[in-house]
Amino acid sequence: METTLRGVGVSHGVAIGEVRHMGTAVLEPPAKQIPAEDAAREQGRARQAVEAVAADLTARGNLAGGEAQAVLEAQAMMAQDPELLADVERRIAVGSSAERAVYDAFASYRELLANAGEYLAGRVADLDDVRNRIVARLLGVPMPGVPDSDEPYVLVARDLAPADTALLDPTLVLGFVTEEGGPTSHSAILARALGVPAVVALPGAGELAEGTLIAVDGSTGEIFLNPSEEKKAQLEAAAARRKAALAASTGPGATADGHKVPLLANIGGPSDVAAAVEAGAEGVGLFRTEFLFLDDSENAPSEEKQVTAYRQVLEAFPEGRVVVRVLDAGADKPLDFLTPADEPNPALGVRGLRTLLDHPAVLRTQLTALAKAGEGLPVHLEVMAPMVADRADAKAFADACREAGLRAKVGVMVEIPSAALRARSVLREVEFLSLGTNDLAQYTFAADRQVGAVSRLQDPWQPALLDLVALAAEAAQAEGKSCGVCGEAASDPLLACVLTGLGVTSLSMGAASLPYVRASLAKFTLAQCERAAAAARAADSAEDARNAAQAVLSGE
């Protein structure tokens, strides 16, 4: 009998296959006492396991590249956290085995994060994965992770750690379904980069029986259990129509009546450039520079190293637009030489531009490197600051850019509601805005972007979020300046039309989403997009907003 379940669709496409569950988590090690004379040996075992797991995570990151590399390197840093290791060694000194000490130390830290009610609570899944890998190595048992299979399947898990998602084989993993997560979680972002259909935040996903045939629609978030032949044919036909539409849609982004909407790519480093170029990106709307700073958490990269990396990306888009975000450190991206270790709530503390203004030498080096990287190139270089709250922040960043001799356009990210509400004031200091809808939603609704329980508040269709986007876009238009979106909202083809109707001037997304958005925009006029935007803003919920926009664009 066919049954339909609904989660949150986070990566387009349809997958039909049998359920395979993620390998089970490591069992809790026994709480046995060790002789005092064995403590030094056990401490050595713990250190070796930690270093081996960190090296494995780093190696996986190097293989994956791009955004995945930054995520996995952050996990490696988590494994090597000196405070955690010190706690492990203290527990061993009073009689715990290495594996039990690791389990208990991580459990203590996990409880702090899970109960904090703050941005770092979203790191619990990553922390659990690191713990499981270290304990598995110490116990000499297989690592938890993606199941072995010779046949393609749909992967089902409570949550997917970045280390697993980053190296999924799309020829075997047709799609995946998770019980936790949200539309802007690490796994969702990496799924879109891989082009793997995915649904997250599905209640009871773990109860799906192994071997059950399911169909996953990553666009609608629907899961069909034991789909009929008719349903499979419908889904496959819809997928074929989408594929044909994608193939027919080429060239610059524009609505059906010729209103230009540049379609740009979000990239995490030079390794992402090839996919962006192949997908027809007209430039880069978000060049995340954190990858350069994660190699060494205790020292900033040299100016020369930065120049080389930036120039690789700039050279790939001659005559195109490349928007570089300066270092966004803090919260879930701590760096020992920059971010405070004792902040009670890092998400609301010193992060982003605040961190850089506290360390002007780091900011100046990065801006100088960007200036040198762009010398002699025809590219349109633009530089923006993360986590800008008001005009004073914008002025401080613009002044720093001028002092560094940077001739690029200067802009800011709108990720804090205050910046959207006072966008016109902010624009008196800078030349453009870029809306980071992931964090803007998080701060608007007090809803951690990594926590599945609040995923409905992270839905970019929330009318309150659309209101903030409209405020920023209207301010930019009044000032004669541009206002783009570089958050995950831009990767939704239907929402891309609504954002265009709200007055957004460019859209930036993962390379895999570009063809879908290009094809969607080409089907509708600007006037239709504006009517869809008005209908969405008039709704009272995300679901109603989506349905209202869909009704307008389908002519209902």
Annotated active-site positions, please? 186, 486
Taking only Cα atoms into account, the Rg of the chain, rounded to an integer number of angstroms, comes to: 24
Give the torsion through C-alpha atoms of 48, 51, 53, 56, to 10 deg.
-120
Q: What DSSP designation does 341 have?
A: S
Amino acid symbol at 380:
H
316, two tokens: 């790939």
Hey, is 380 helix, strand or coil? strand
Q: Is 218 left (phi over 0), alpha (psi -120 to 50) or beta?
A: alpha
354, two tokens: 């605040």
Hey, is 321 helix, strand or coil? strand
Check: CB of residue 224 under 8 Å from CB of residue 2.
yes
SS3 sequence of 10-35:
EECCEEEEEEEECCCCCCCCCCCECC
Amino acid symbol at 74:
A
Q: Can you tell me the distance from the alpha carbon of 116 to that of 304, in angstroms, rounded to the nearest whole number?
A: 40
Check: CB of residue 386 under 8 Å from CB of residue 415.
yes
Check: CB of residue 76 under 8 Å from CB of residue 61.
yes
Beta partners for 21?
156
Strands (E), 226-346: 263-267, 283-288, 321-325
For the chain, the farthest-separated pair of C-alpha atoms sits apart, in whole angstroms, at 79
Across 244-269, b (16+ Cβ under 10 Å) vs e yields ebbeebeeebbbeeeeebbbbbbbbb
Check: CB of residue 411 under 8 Å from CB of residue 436.
no
**Which candidate, 415, 309, 323, places its Cα nearest to that of 372?**
309
**Which candidate, 23, 21, 7, places its Cα nearest to that of 154?**
21
Amino acid symbol at 378:
P
Strands (E), 207-247: 213-217, 222-225
The residue count for the chain: 556
Q: Can you tell me the distance from the alpha carbon of 302 to that of 311, in angstroms, rounded to the nearest whole number?
A: 14
**Which candidate, 123, 247, 260, places its Cα nearest to that of 186?**
123
